[in-house]
């Protein structure tokens, strides 16, 4: 039997242990929870619980065959997502990879149309044609989940170029996974972003693994925040299980990108709770260790603890949020269940803006139409 | 003879090839500890070690490019592209480098490289896990493109691809991986690259097809047999170079041609097949050449009914056979 891979330990917030000096690469964590706005904190908590429950139930729906194909969950990345989204502003554009359910919900899209997309239904946010990996919402400047690894990097860079070019407000957020920092498109984008002073933040969700390959195995520079060095791009590492640490770092770098037109790299460390996708058995990781790490690096219990200690929430509140979220996610599932399948005619929709002939002859058309109705 | 799935046959072929030739190594994303996304390479890491079964970084361009370089230096690399949909970052390496080095170097250098790629739909993989990429590569002189549909053919053609002194793109239909089973001899036996195979003899019309569509066409042919229509089904097996002799002999015999592929219609391999037959066997044709192909939409949609409509089915293939037979 091949050895399973040791999961990389996630450092404590700030990279410090017991008041020691911050680890290399970490920005100092400045927040004091006691001075935070309690309503905002509760909102973050609620959102994190919502994402968690959404993903857990999506996983369940997959086992019930309501969802098929490839479905990647954000379990363990709730603080990373909510912290980031708290820092972004309305005009900002967001590009992500295929592990994006949480991002689009946190950006303000209702869970219903997201779940309906996972179900492949007409009311899905992408009309059911994309599924889990291809969520889009132009009105929210959510520029899509990208199924091709690295596909989003040049596009995000170009979007930042357009912002500069037009003098628009806002920045571009380019989310990638740790493993994505090995593909050419990533490096080509970094160079352009630095060369042309583009307001883009490359946000690495460093969950320790690209599928079954650990960061140490896939990247000759495992300190991913340093990967911009030769492009003169500033990078820093953030504890991705600390929602406020992520928020603060993202805020600071966002403002810098907007005001000073400087790209940045954020290396946001968390722990991937389950396999790469719902159907990945995760056999390549030591399961006892995975289990222990799930408890140790659970961003929700961590934040809950912080809020309890600050006297902002109590048992009753935790229960209230649990119930509320349960109802909301169930409503999303019901919405998805009730939504009809996409119409066959929609197959040919949205290929071009103009009328482009796509069928050779009437005979050909007849055959295709017969096929769309399941054969003669 | 043991019965294996298509996937097991490919795995056995890889195993035997690695055992027989120390120059053979496997390079690709998660091919080692994880045994590949589809588990084709499962067990190989334990047997041959991390120098020969290599979990590459996520970087298709250098996966293929490094294999080209290694192949030129007397290794026998097998590059795995996790899904054919992800091959495009390596497109430049394959087309500009691998396919042209023999010609460009005036025969000084050559590239004995195999690139394995699971392709095709029907597994609910949506837009970027379902594509058929063959037409793009069949257009390229200097490349060979192989697409076996049965376990027997797959193992032998994998060996033939490895023995070939030039680059071969080896396409594995992912829906066939576990669906298709068949007898596979242990050890070596021969199936040549460039040879089609008549999988069903018939006299009324010829079907040219490959991959998953071979199985659907055979199913449709069985249905038509019940209607007294006798269909010949030719499995192309190699898509470049095409076995024009077998293709033309079959069409000359039946005088009617139906082409079936899952790849979309326009610019697909069917166009080339039709042109060859029109040029060489025009006089023997009794009906217009027909095609049943994937529709010209940018990618296979996720929603189940749309995916089903995208893929030609035994029923829609049978419809076309009837139209042609009645002509
Ligand atoms: C170009 C390309 N190559 C390979 C894949 C297959 N693939 C999808 S996700 C993945 C691992 C990515 O890991 P990482 O970037 O760390 O992101 P994570 O999944 O951990 O969020 C691979 C190999 C792909 N989708 N696109």
Closest CA to A151 of A118, A180, A190, A191: A180
Please measure the distance between the N-terminal and C-terminal CA atoms of chain B and give it in whole angstroms: 43
Contact (CB<8Å) A148/B298? no
Q: DSSP 3-state assignment of B240? A: strand
ipTM entry: 0.93
- B197-326 shares the fold of B3-183: yes
CA-CA distance, B149 to B139, in Å (whole number)?
21
Query: Mean pLDDT over residues B126-143, rounded?
Result: 97
- Distance to chain A for B104, nearest Cα, Å: 26
Q: Which residues of B are less than 8 Å from A345 in CB distance?
A: none
CA-CA distance, B260 to B291, in Å (whole number)?
6
Question: How many Å lie between the centroid of ligand 1 and the Cα of residue A149?
Answer: 5
Q: Domains in chain A and their CATH numbers?
A: 13-342 (3.40.50.970), 352-376 (no CATH)
B window 258-277, beta carbon within 8 A of A: none
Q: From the candidates B110, B124, B129, B215, which is the catalytic residue?
A: B129
Query: Of the candidates B57, B60, B303, which has its C-beta nearest A129's C-beta?
Result: B303
CB-based contact A108:A327 (threshold 8 Å): no
Q: DSSP 3-state assignment of B48? A: helix
Q: Which atom of ligand 1 is nearest to the CA of A149?
A: 26
Superfamily of domain B3-183: Thiamin diphosphate (ThDP)-binding fold, Pyr/PP domains (3.40.50.970)
- Distance to chain B for A328, nearest Cα, Å: 24
pLDDT of residue A70: 95
Assigned token pair, B30: 């998660």
CA-CA distance, A143 to A174, in Å (whole number)?
10
Class of domain B197-326: alpha beta
CB-based contact B90:B61 (threshold 8 Å): yes
In whole angstroms, how far apart are CA A126 and each of A53, A129, A135, A373, B315? Answer: 22, 6, 6, 23, 30
* pLDDT tens digit at each of 376 positions of chain A: 445 655 554 454 554 444 555 678 897 888 999 999 999 999 999 999 999 999 999 999 999 999 999 999 999 999 999 999 999 999 999 999 999 999 999 999 999 999 999 999 999 999 999 999 999 999 999 999 999 999 999 999 999 999 999 999 999 999 999 999 999 999 999 999 999 999 999 999 999 999 999 999 999 999 999 999 999 999 999 999 999 999 999 999 999 999 999 999 999 999 999 999 999 999 999 999 999 999 999 999 999 999 999 999 999 999 999 999 999 999 999 999 999 999 888 888 888 888 877 777 787 777 777 777 765 4
Q: pLDDT tens for residues B10-60?
A: 999 999 999 999 999 999 999 999 999 999 999 999 999 999 999 999 999
Q: Which residues of B are less than 8 Å from A150 in CB distance?
A: 58, 89
CB A207 less than 6 A from any atom of ligand 1: yes
Which region holds residue B281: left if phi is over 0, alpha if psi is between -120 and 50, else beta?
Answer: alpha
CB A149 less than 6 A from any atom of ligand 1: yes
pLDDT of residue A18: 46
Q: pLDDT tens for residues B180-194?
A: 999 999 999 999 999
CA-CA distance, B59 to A179, in Å (whole number)?
9
Q: pLDDT tens for residues A152-168?
A: 999 999 999 999 999 99
- Mean pLDDT (chain B) is 97
The verdict on B316 touching A (C-beta cutoff 8 Å) is yes
- Distance to chain B for A374, nearest Cα, Å: 7
pLDDT of residue A365: 76
Instruction: For residue A177, list its beta bridge partners.
Output: A205
Q: pLDDT tens for residues B270-316?
A: 999 999 999 999 999 999 999 999 999 999 999 999 999 899 999 99
Question: Where are the domains positioned within chain B?
Answer: 3-183, 197-326
Q: How many CB atoms lie within 10 A of CB A196?
A: 15
Phi, psi (deg, nearest 5) at residue B317? -65, -40
Active-site residue, B129 included = yes
Which region holds residue A141: left if phi is over 0, alpha if psi is between -120 and 50, else beta?
Answer: left
In whole angstroms, how far apart are CA B62 and each of A108, A335, B89, B165, B195? Answer: 39, 45, 9, 21, 32
CB A210 less than 6 A from any atom of ligand 1: yes
């Amino acid at each position: 039997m091949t050895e399973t891979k040791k999961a990389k330990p996630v450092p404590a917030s700030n990279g410090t242990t017991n008041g020691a000096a911050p680890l290399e690469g970490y920005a100092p964590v400045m927040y004091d929870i006691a001075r935070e706005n309690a309503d905002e904190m509760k909102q973050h908590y609620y959102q994190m619980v919502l994402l968690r429950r959404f993903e857990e139930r999506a996983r369940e729906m997959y086992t019930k065959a309501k969802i098929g194909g490839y479905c990647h969950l954000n379990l363990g990345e709730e603080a990373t997502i909510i912290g980031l989204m708290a820092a972004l502003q309305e005009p900002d554009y967001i590009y992500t990879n295929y592990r994006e359910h949480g991002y689009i919900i946190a950006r303000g899209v209702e869970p219903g149309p997201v779940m309906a997309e996972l179900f492949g239904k007409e009311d899905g946010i992408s009309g059911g044609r994309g599924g889990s990996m291809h969520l889009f919402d132009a009105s929210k400047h959510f520029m899509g989940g990208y199924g091709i690894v690295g596909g989003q990097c040049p596009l995000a860079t170009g979007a930042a170029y357009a912002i500069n070019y037009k003098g628009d407000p806002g920045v571009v957020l380019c989310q990638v996974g740790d493993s994505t920092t090995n593909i050419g498109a990533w490096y080509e984008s970094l160079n352009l972003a630095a060369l042309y002073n583009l307001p883009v933040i490359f946000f690495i969700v460093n969950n320790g693994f690209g599928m079954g390959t650990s960061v140490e195995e896939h990247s000759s520079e495992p300190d991913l925040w340093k990967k911009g060095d030769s492009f003169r791009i500033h990078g820093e590492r953030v504890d991705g299980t600390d929602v406020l640490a992520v928020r603060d770092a993202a805020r600071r770098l966002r403002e810098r990108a907007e005001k000073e037109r400087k790209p940045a790299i954020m290396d946001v460390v968390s722990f991937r709770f389950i396999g790469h996708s719902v159907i990945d058995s995760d056999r390549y990781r030591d399961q006892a260790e995975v289990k222990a790490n799930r408890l140790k690096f659970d961003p929700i219990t961590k934040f809950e603890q912080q809020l309890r200690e600050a006297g902002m929430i109590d048992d009753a509140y935790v229960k209230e949020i649990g119930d509320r979220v349960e109802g909301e996610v169930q409503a999303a599932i019901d919405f998805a269940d009730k939504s009809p399948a996409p119409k066959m005619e929609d197959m040919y929709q949205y290929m071009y803006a103009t009328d482009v002939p796509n069928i050779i002859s009437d005979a050909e058309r007849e055959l295709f139409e017969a096929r769309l109705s399941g054969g003669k | 003879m043991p019965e294996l799935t298509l996937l097991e046959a490919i795995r056995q072929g890889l195993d035997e090839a690695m055992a027989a030739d120390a120059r053979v190594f496997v390079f690709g994303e998660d091919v080692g500890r994880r045994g590949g996304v589809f588990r084709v390479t499962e067990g190989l890491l334990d047997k041959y070690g991390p120098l020969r079964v290599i979990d590459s970084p996520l970087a298709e361009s250098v996966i293929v490019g490094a294999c080209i370089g290694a192949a030129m230096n007397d290794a026998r690399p097998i590059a795995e592209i996790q899904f054919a949909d992800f091959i495009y970052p390596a497109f430049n390496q394959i087309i500009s480098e691998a396919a042209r080095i023999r010609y460009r170097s005036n025969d000084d250098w050559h590239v004995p490289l195999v690139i394995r790629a699971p392709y095709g739909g029907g597994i609910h993989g949506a837009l970027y896990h379902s594509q058929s990429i063959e037409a793009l590569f069949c257009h390229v002189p200097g490349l060979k493109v192989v697409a076996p549909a049965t376990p027997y053919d797959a193992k032998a053609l994998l060996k033939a691809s490895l023995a070939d002194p030039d680059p071969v793109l080896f396409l594995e239909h992912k829906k066939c991986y576990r669906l298709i089973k068949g007898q596979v001899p242990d050890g070596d036996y021969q199936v040549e690259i460039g040879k089609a195979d008549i999988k069903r003899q018939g006299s009324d019309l010829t079907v040219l097809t490959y991959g998953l569509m071979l199985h659907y066409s055979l199913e449709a042919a069985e249905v038509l047999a019940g209607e007294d229509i006798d269909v010949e089904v030719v499995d192309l097996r190699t898509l470049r170079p095409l076995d024009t002799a077998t293709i033309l002999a079959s069409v000359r015999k039946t005088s009617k041609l139906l082409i079936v592929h899952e790849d979309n219609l326009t610019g697909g391999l069917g166009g080339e097949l039709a042109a060859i037959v029109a040029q060489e066997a025009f006089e023997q044709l009794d009906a217009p050449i027909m095609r049943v192909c994937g529709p010209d939409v940018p990618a296979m949609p996720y929603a189940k009914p749309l995916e089903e409509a995208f893929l030609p089915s035994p029923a829609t293939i049978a419809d076309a056979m009837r139209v042609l037979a009645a002509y």
